Amino acid sequence: MLTLPDFPWDSLVPYAAIARKHADGMIDLSVGSPVDPTPDVVRAALAEATDAHSYPQTAGTPQLRAAIVDWYSRRRGVSDLAEANVLPTIGSKELIALMPLLLGLGRGDVVVFPRIAYPTYAIGAALVGATALASDDPAEWLSSTRLIWLNSPGNPDGSVRDIAFLRAAVARARELDAVIVNDECYAEFGWEASSPSILDPRVIDGSRDHVLSVYSLSKQSNLAGYRGGFVAGCSDLIAQLLEARKHVGLIPPGPVQAAMIAALGDEHHVEQQRSRYESRRGILKPALEAAGYRVDHSEAGLYLWVTAGEDAWTTIAALAALGILAAPGSFYGDDARNHVRIALTATDADISAAAARLRDSGN
Ligand SMILES: Cc1ncc(COP(=O)(O)O)c(C=O)c1O
């Protein structure tokens, strides 16, 4: 029988009830779901592609693959990819959860992911009965490791991995004959540090062997509802994923493929979105600090990783009393029990209101 962990968000429900009682209403900063509109250029491309009578290509249209190749070159400093090195996905969460299955992993195989991590890496291991190992130290990765997940910039803590770490991690993966994947979905949102791709030439030493990069358009282009993502890297691995995905029917819808091309080709809306988040961060971070909280990491990405030096649930309760809903660190690993994650994905009005409530609270 398949056993998966309880869905942790249910445990937040009582705190949402408290937050909702605030005289000016609840401000939900617990989830990272975009609130700003999907850019017109993307919506127009979707609208123009609604005649979708035939099956789309699992591999993506040649235009989409070319757009992904071009994006890595322009935005990620990875200039030598070909169409055989890239593959679109239906958002990135399905790929993350299914990667162990699509790579043929099973019982006895180890899947490694960060100690403080987005929960879907562990779910993927559970789906195939593989052993999940939360570890940030390449020296700890066991000989039975078959898949290693990195996540830079990280969710929930906004930490960034530099070239030296990525190089060491790739070298260790190759020594173990394991696939290594960096989930890079927050790459466009670097505040105090920029985060290199795992496919950066300074990381891979002239070969993409064993290495994949995963990206999502959900956040950079406010199209989480479209479900558009992709994976790039070693052509043998991409071919293996494509073959398996064809059999399963994991095909990005045709109109979404067209919308992805428009999103990848337009940098203006990404810059605009980046400045929205930058200004929200610039309002919320100092307000949290003024209220006595410490913000750790958060050098990049869409979250502030916050502690009051107490159990996360105590902080969640204190914030709920101000009508602010956050997510406890315990959702993301045993090392994170004293932190809460506060999302920047709220309207300017909500971010300003949250900041005002925090400043008034003078914690
Ligand atoms: C680290 C990380 N990876 C992947 C995803 C999945 O995003 P999507 O399925 O929308 O591409 C998320 C979503 O929040 C995330 O935080």
For 117-160, the pLDDT digits (tens) are 999 999 999 999 999 999 999 999 999 999 999 999 999 999 99
Q: Is 182 in the pocket of ligand 1 (CB under 6 A)?
A: no
Q: What is the pLDDT of residue 92?
A: 98
Residue range 86-95, pLDDT digits in tens: 999 999 999 9
**pLDDT tier at 7 (50, 70, 90 boundaries)?**
confident
Q: Whose CA is nearest to atom 16 of ligand 1?
A: 155
Q: Output the pLDDT for position 182.
A: 99
Cα 224 to Cα 71: distance, rounded to the nearest angstrom = 19
Cα separation of 163 and 161, whole Å? 7
Secondary structure class of 27 (helix, strand, coil): strand
Q: Is 91 in the pocket of ligand 1 (CB under 6 A)?
A: yes
- Tokens 């290199």 locate to 196
**pLDDT-based confidence at residue 27 (cuts at 50, 70, 90):** very high
Q: Is the CB of 159 under 6 A from ligand 1?
A: no
Other C-beta atoms closer than 10 Å to the C-beta of 165 total 16
User: Residue 91 CA: which ligand 1 atom is closest?
Assistant: 11
Other CB atoms within 10 A of residue 1 CB: 2
Contact 71, 285 (CB under 8 A): no
User: Mean pLDDT, the chain, as a whole number?
Assistant: 97
Q: Which atom of ligand 1 is nearest to the CA of 32?
A: 14
pLDDT in tens, 80-116: 999 999 999 999 999 999 999 999 999 999 999 999 9
242-267 residue pLDDT tens:
999 999 999 999 999 999 999 999 99
Please report the sign of the dihedral spanned by the C-alpha atoms of residue 284, residue 8, residue 229, residue 149.
positive
Taking the centre of ligand 1 as the mean of its atom positions, its distance from the CA of residue 360, in whole angstroms, is 34
Beta bridge partner(s), residue 181: 149, 212
Q: Which of 152, 157, 185 to mutate to test the pocket of ligand 1 (most atoms within 8 A of CB)?
A: 185
Encode pLDDT of 271-328 as tens digits: 999 999 999 999 999 999 999 999 999 999 999 999 999 999 999 999 999 999 999 9
The Å distance, Cα 260 to ligand 1 centre, comes to: 16
Ligand 1 atom showing the smallest separation from residue 228 Cα: 11
pTM score: 0.97
